Amino acid sequence: MGFNPACLGKTYDADWQTVDRPRHRAYLAAVTGREESPDPEHPLACFASVYLLWPIVPLLFSDPAVGLDLARLLHGEQEFWFTRPLSFGEQLRPSGRITRAEERRGMVFLELLCAGEAADGSEVAHSRSLFLVRGAP
């Protein structure tokens, strides 16, 4: 089955994720070579944004109702924004929604908006991803 543009508006929900220090230290070591955060209270924003996409992106990529050809997929754009800094130990519940799903000139354009909901129900973190799928050679 090929790409299904009727997936527009489809949503994904994931379990609560804890913004934890051990994973932050591992991320920091891999990206910067350091193991201690410059801010002991708050994780790096680039690390915190990972909680929005994981595990939402694998749900999207494995969804047969969307029909993405992962072998031809390109990561087009990515952006993140936060309404406030996140804290270690805080829990976020990630969710995602397909906000663009179209095929033009043999290429698929798919946009995914994600949000991280805090324990009080407020959305505190957001991301936007644009995925492109090249057409057949």
Residue 1, pLDDT score: 64
Task: Find where tokens 């505190």 sit.
Answer: 124
**pTM recorded for the entire structure:** 0.90
Q: Which of 5-9, 40-44, 128-132 has the lowest mean pLDDT?
A: 40-44
pLDDT-based confidence at residue 131 (cuts at 50, 70, 90)? very high
pLDDT per position as a tens digit, 32-87: 888 777 888 888 888 888 878 889 999 999 999 999 999 999 999 999 999 999 99
For the chain, what are the domain ranges? 5-133
Residue 137, pLDDT score: 65
CA distance 86 to 45: 8
- 68 alpha carbon, distance to own chain's centre: 16
* CATH level 2 (architecture), domain 5-133: Roll (3.10)
pLDDT per position as a tens digit, 72-126: 999 999 999 999 999 999 999 999 999 999 999 999 999 999 999 999 999 999 9
Task: Find where tokens 């995925």 sit.
Answer: 131
